[in-house]
Amino acid sequence: MPVPFFDWNEAAAQIARERREMNAGNRLKGEAFWDMRAPSFAKHADETGYADAFLDIIKPESGMTVFDMGCGGGTLAVPLSGMVREVTAADFSPNMLAIVKDKMSAFNIRNINPVKLSWEDDWTSAGIGVHDIAIASRSMSVENIKEAVTKLSGAASKRVYISTVVGDGPHDRILYEAVGREIFPSVDYIYTYNILYQMGIHANVSFISGNDVKSYDTFDEALASTHWMFQDMTPEEEAKLNAFMKAHLVEKNGRWQKDYVANYKWAVIWWDK
């Protein structure tokens, strides 16, 4: 008896739609949301060991050209610029791209080409072209993963790398419990992996483990850093979050951080063309 076909792409799209409808899918929000998050996101993304771990998987070569889709504040593009021939750093957030340009100026980087681009745009008209490798690092928050993979793969001649969430990803389950909200399931990496399999792509997978050890200059900055998880909070939820943070933020070396560590994993999926 044949095994019934399970459409992993449609299943992932349904989760993405439900997350958006419940206002839990902040990664599916648009340009304005990421413009608002850009400064703090870029700052703390550079403080983790994620970039080093990701680049260790890529093993960049000096003659390579790289397309970095959803580059954020240059977490990968900036270090890559010193390892490869050229980087096209694309993002739909002008504020993220402004941070990349500031870093280019500060470090006298001349081989990054910042481009304003979304997953939905016409990449051919935008002049993206074909690079040796294409990357979508923690940025493939789209409804149609199959379509996004097809576009990303078309921008690479040698290899494609995607990193995506495992389980809760960057969402802090302890904070959700404190506020009284349920974590709505993310599109776990296994969806992307199985979509690739159904596309005839036999991909490799590695995992990057880490923990949330961010520190902040002030209590208010630390509190504000959690708000991206909870859109449209009620006054009661605000009070619960504030009380929790007051109870669990400690001062260390003149900065504030939580008194517990939230662990996470990212899956890095890649394949040769």
Which pLDDT value is given to residue 24?
46
What tens-digit pLDDT sequence spans the chain (273 residues)? Answer: 566 789 999 999 998 888 777 654 444 456 566 556 555 555 555 556 899 999 999 999 999 999 999 999 999 999 999 999 999 999 999 999 999 999 999 999 999 999 999 999 999 999 999 999 999 999 998 999 999 999 999 999 999 999 999 998 888 899 999 999 988 778 999 999 999 999 999 999 999 988 777 788 888 888 888 887 887 789 999 999 999 999 999 988 888 889 988 888 999 999 999
Which pLDDT value is given to residue 221?
86
Q: Class for domain 8-213+263-272, per CATH? A: alpha beta
Q: Residue 160 contacts by C-beta under 8 Å, 6 or more apart in sequence?
A: 133, 134, 135, 149, 152, 153, 270, 271, 273
Which pLDDT value is given to residue 33?
63
Dihedral sign, CA of 215, 221, 225, 227? positive
Distance CA(212)–CA(25), nearest Å, equals 20
Distance CA(68)–CA(168), nearest Å, equals 24
Which pLDDT value is given to residue 23?
54
Which pLDDT value is given to residue 31?
56
Distance CA(260)–CA(270), nearest Å, equals 33
- pTM (2 d.p.): 0.84
Domain-wise residue ranges, the chain: 8-213+263-272
